A and B are shown apart, each in its own frame.
Chain A
Amino acid sequence: MSSELPVLKASDFASDQDVRWCPGCGDYSILAQMKKVLPTLGTPPENLVFISGIGCSSRFPYYMDTYGMHSIHGRAPSFATGLKATRPELDVWVITGDGDALSIGGNHLMHCIRRNLDVNIVLFNNRIYGLTKGQYSPTSPQGKVTKSTPMGAIDNPIHPLSVAIGCDGSFVARSIDVNIKHLSATLKRAAEHRGTSFIEVYQNCNVFNDGAWDYATDRGTRADNIVELEHGKPLIFGKDRDKGIRLNGMEPEIVELGKGIKEDDLLFHDEKAPEPSLAYLLSRMRQPDFPEPIGVFRAIDAPKYDELLNQQVQQARSDRGDGDLNTLFTTGDTWEIT
């Protein structure tokens, strides 16, 4: 008998629900790339679960014909933890935003990453609260004028990848909504990684924060403003690929190639470095001082919470045998009354 798996298409992962994001929203692109990537992974839709919190991005599960849970604000990683701990064979994706993951849900994000639960977290970063109509978010830059900050935001912004790397994230990456090839390649790598995969996606909110990422998406400027990371390759950027990043002691600096500076003098990316220092340094490279890296910052193998938890269960069973209620009830000193 043929055991060939059915070939799935992007449309096989689309639910029958109308997508209700604003026209022109960056979320559409991420949804499209997700639907394109999933058929290439070989996981049947019934083994996929999308879990989200609250916010525009968190409507995502409704548009996927997989299992899904649109949960409560900031807590998606916690629902994912319970699910993955008891059903490690499922592929679990967490869909979140900058407010959901880094403000109300900061605690859970941190703990999920440090436990290295085997889930994929995609953070749609649009640097604004969209669903509540335009307040500043924890990733909004200082000075940002919004409905709740008429004189400009005074909070020092948080940087998602620095947080993820600070929590010893085993897979940390960044991509951009409109850079569809890069985005789909990054989603695929995240899916293939075992342990917590954390991806920040620069996502444009064309209604409340339009153009927040123009510097990284504009055809004229993006080559100078982003640097694409490739494992084992030097950090080179610029329209003419004539600029690079070199380490000066512990500090990165921009140098021009030629004029006595060779590729070998540049910083070479090592996503597998056991120490997260380099990845952290890359996460600190920010506009306007530096081009912002996209790609995989870190991809290392580390123990996974769900795997360890299930190993303990197995261990207990092989050491003590499958639990027996009679044995349990007679633990300690018992006595008879006749």
Chain B
Amino acid sequence: MSATTENQDPTVNNIEQMESATVRLVGDSGDGMQLFGTQLTNTSALAGNDVATFPDFPAEIRAPRGTRAGVSGFQVQFASSEIYTPGDQLDALVAMNPAALVTNLADLKRNGLLIVNEDSFEARDLKLANCETNPLDSSEMDAYRLFKIPMTTLTRNAVEELGLSVKIADRCRNFFAMGLIYWLYERDLEPTLRFIQEKFAGKPDIVSANERALRAGWNFGETTEAFVSTYHVDPADLPAGTYNNIMGNQALAWGLIAASKMSGKELFCGTYPITPASDILHELSKHKNFGVRTFQAEDEIAAVCSSIGAAFGGAMGVTASSGPGIALKGEAIGLAVILELPLIVINVQRGGPSTGLPTKTEQSDLLQAMTGRNGESPLPVIAARSPGDCFDVAQEAWRLAVKYMTPVMLLSDGYIANGAEPWLIPKVDELAPIPVTHPGPPDDGETFQPYQRDEKLARPWALPGTPGLMHRVGGLEKADGTGNVSYDPNNHQNMTDIRAQKIESIAHDIPPQSVLGPDKGDLLVLSWGGTYGSCMTAVNRSIAKGMSVAHAHLRYLNPFPANLQELLSSYRTILIPELNAGQLRSLIRSTFLMDAVGLNKVQGKPFAVTEIESAIQHEIDTLSSES
């Protein structure tokens, strides 16, 4: 049976099928764009789409209202197939004011949907945004499908009966815009209605106002004939299972909790608040019933030191920070190296140097992770590649830390930390146990040797409270075996060599580096960390175009996987895209005496897929002109 026209909504002329939609929501930093984006993301994930997000907000909590500096944005791509990036060019842009419009318009596709709050394009708003003329009147608008909607007026009308102040009524505008976008992309209102009930519980006026605004936005779409079509994105064909929508920092916190459970070690997280890492502390502090103890320290140094103190006592010590904080922790991390105690140091990287770009992403702390301590102080460095991957990497960090009795540096970045994606909830009974052992009281007459090593060169983790194992650790060089202070030249050489060897040997305890695409050929794209999605998507597209390109994405930065050198030499050219000035490239060159081409930028933004695609194209062209 075919559907008759009577059964269809008469106001909708057309439903357009899309494989994926990329929508960006921009407004003032107080306009609730992050909330809008999060709701749209969750709702789309619940609808079965694959999603990827990119929240982008200023460092100021409330930058001057209406100015370009105060623009806060949230980009989400939802798709009917697996996606790995929040999308390059926008299918739709929602701009709540002129500043938001002019700073984001360049990313909107030709003929893309442009939805603006017409009420906020008054002379005063234009002045705040430094616009000499109203951009809506410009001929530039002809390139887009512009919808000027008086959202402020319509929202005020929608909540009028509640008798709220104008200020409060205007705060509901983001829900109006949300309602409209939900209608346009056939999103279900229910999850957001539930959210409103929970979020504003106990404030019935606010609940009611936001609900009305949301429905008004939806109804506006449905009843006006402004929009010729709505857009439909089918559910994605993701692996079967139960999913949750997860953000990077949250996944990291959950991964740490899982590692704590799987190792039977209670988690202690000493941390000092810093953007963009603070959410790890917030999340962990909610889960004290897992035996999690969070300590908001007086500074970054106290944070890491307290975690080392907890590790000395036998706890799972964790500290989370960003580049500036890691710089402060350097001396203490070096102490953990010589104490040979397990510890996880998390760096959610942001733009640097110094305070840099606190809310923007960058990968410029790789060399800091590798060498940012005094003396010869190697430690394992591993990096997460996506929000969901943070969960796995956290467990891997703890596995290495306890197995090799070493601090481990775990790198994330602002893009992963705040980004969200559907996460296939793992089966708890399939999580890998993380074995930990502590020596018991010695047999009579036996002297405990705190620096006696096992076959992995790890020393025993002897805990205070154990009779007969009393020992002293410290930052002065240790004598091999006894752990007593030693200034002996040969001992220092030996201990330095052992500490290095211990870390190097991890190369044989990690999976060999895998490759997407041909195992030899013209070009290998080598990447690490948060650029995974863009690199992978770009390589896939290039392969589809018939190019001889492969992709290797490193999780292990120190040591490198044992097969890496051989793998790299199987390609004519290595291209390393990084959000820094070429730090991995420099490591690859110095480690393997092998050259590589860099694709580098530090603009506070992730790579667009097209940027990497063009770099690939350029290298392939160069190779073919050479041969």
| Smallest CB separation, B327 vs chain A (Å) | 15
Q: Is A81 an interface residue (CB 8 A)?
A: yes
User: Which residues 452-481 of B sit at the A interface, judged by CB distance below 8 A?
Assistant: 464-476
Q: Do A46 and B242 touch across chains, with their CB atoms under 8 A apart?
A: no
Q: Do A79 and B243 touch across chains, with their CB atoms under 8 A apart?
A: no
A-B pairs, top 10 by smallest CB distance, nearest first, are: A70-B474, A323-B290, A82-B309, A82-B306, A78-B305, A79-B309, A316-B288, A82-B310, A68-B472, A78-B302
Q: Do B257 and A71 touch across chains, with their CB atoms under 8 A apart?
A: no
Q: Which of B194, B261, B293, B314 has the most chain A CB atoms inside 10 A of its CB?
A: B293
Known contacts A312-B288, A325-B261, A335-B242, A86 near B302 by CB under 8 Å? no
Q: Do B331 and A72 touch across chains, with their CB atoms under 8 A apart?
A: yes
CA distance A338 to B473 in the complex (A): 54
Chain A, interface size: which category?
Answer: 35 or more
Q: Do B244 and A85 touch across chains, with their CB atoms under 8 A apart?
A: no
A-B contact list, 25 entries, CB within 8 Å:
A46-B467, A46-B469, A49-B312, A51-B309, A61-B472, A65-B470, A67-B471, A71-B308, A75-B332, A80-B309, A82-B305, A82-B310, A82-B312, A83-B313, A85-B268, A86-B310, A108-B305, A313-B289, A313-B291, A317-B291, A322-B290, A325-B431, A328-B254, A329-B426, A337-B238
Residues from chain A with Cβ under 8 Å of B25 in the complex: none
Beyond A329-B254, A337-B241, 14 additional contacts (C-beta under 8 Å) are A46-B467, A62-B472, A67-B471, A69-B312, A71-B308, A72-B305, A75-B302, A82-B310, A86-B315, A111-B302, A313-B291, A317-B289, A333-B194, A336-B241
* Residues of B contacting A: mostly: mixed
Q: Do B465 and A334 touch across chains, with their CB atoms under 8 A apart?
A: no
| Smallest CB separation, B609 vs chain A (Å) | 25
Q: Digitize B195-219: 1 where CB-to-A-CB distance is under 8 Å, 0 elsewhere.
A: 0000000000000000000000000
Q: Is A330 an interface residue (CB 8 A)?
A: yes
Residues from chain A with Cβ under 8 Å of B466 in the complex: 46
A85: contacting residue among B295, B332, B468, B484, CB under 8 A: B295
Residues from chain B with Cβ under 8 Å of A54 in the complex: 475
Query: Which stretch (B41-49, B61-69, B125-133) binds chain A?
Result: B41-49
User: Which residues 309-335 of A sit at the B interface, judged by CB distance below 8 A?
Assistant: 309-310, 312-313, 315-317, 319-323, 325-326, 328-335
| Smallest CB separation, A21 vs chain B (Å) | 14
CA distance A67 to B474 in the complex (A): 11
Q: Do A316 and B317 touch across chains, with their CB atoms under 8 A apart?
A: no
CA distance A321 to B290 in the complex (A): 9
CA distance A78 to B45 in the complex (A): 43
CA distance A87 to B471 in the complex (A): 17
| Smallest CB separation, A90 vs chain B (Å) | 5
CA distance A49 to B293 in the complex (A): 21
| Smallest CB separation, A171 vs chain B (Å) | 21
Q: Is A2 an interface residue (CB 8 A)?
A: no
User: Which residues 32-85 of B sit at the A interface, judged by CB distance below 8 A?
Assistant: 42, 45-46, 48
CA distance A233 to B309 in the complex (A): 41
Q: Do A86 and B425 touch across chains, with their CB atoms under 8 A apart?
A: no
Q: Do B464 and A107 touch across chains, with their CB atoms under 8 A apart?
A: no
Residues from chain B with Cβ under 8 Å of A316 in the complex: 287-289
| Smallest CB separation, B394 vs chain A (Å) | 13
Q: Do B243 and A111 touch across chains, with their CB atoms under 8 A apart?
A: no
Q: Is A148 an interface residue (CB 8 A)?
A: no
Q: Which of A46, A54, A65, A78 has the most chain B CB atoms inside 10 A of its CB?
A: A78
Q: Do A79 and B484 touch across chains, with their CB atoms under 8 A apart?
A: no
Known contacts A68-B472, A70-B475, A86-B266, A108 near B298 by CB under 8 Å? yes
Q: Do A333 and B245 touch across chains, with their CB atoms under 8 A apart?
A: yes
Residues from chain B with Cβ under 8 Å of A62 in the complex: 472, 474, 484-485
Q: Digitize B284-322: 1 where CB-to-A-CB distance is under 8 Å, 0 elsewhere.
A: 000111111101011101110111111111110100000
Residues from chain A with Cβ under 8 Å of B465 in the complex: 46-47, 87, 89-90
CA distance A68 to B48 in the complex (A): 55
Residues from chain A with Cβ under 8 Å of B306 in the complex: 78-79, 81-82, 85
Q: Is B240 an interface residue (CB 8 A)?
A: yes
A323: contacting residue among B45, B244, B261, CB under 8 A: B261
Residue of A nearest to B476 (CB): A70
Q: Is B356 an interface residue (CB 8 A)?
A: no
Residues from chain B with Cβ under 8 Å of A331 in the complex: 244
CA distance A326 to B288 in the complex (A): 16
Known contacts A62-B485, A338-B240, A46 near B470 by CB under 8 Å? yes
CA distance A79 to B317 in the complex (A): 11
Q: Is A15 an interface residue (CB 8 A)?
A: yes
Residues from chain B with Cβ under 8 Å of A326 in the complex: 428
Q: Is B439 an interface residue (CB 8 A)?
A: no
CA distance A79 to B315 in the complex (A): 13
Q: Digitize A288-324: 1 where CB-to-B-CB distance is under 8 Å, 0 elsewhere.
A: 0000000000000000000001101101110111110
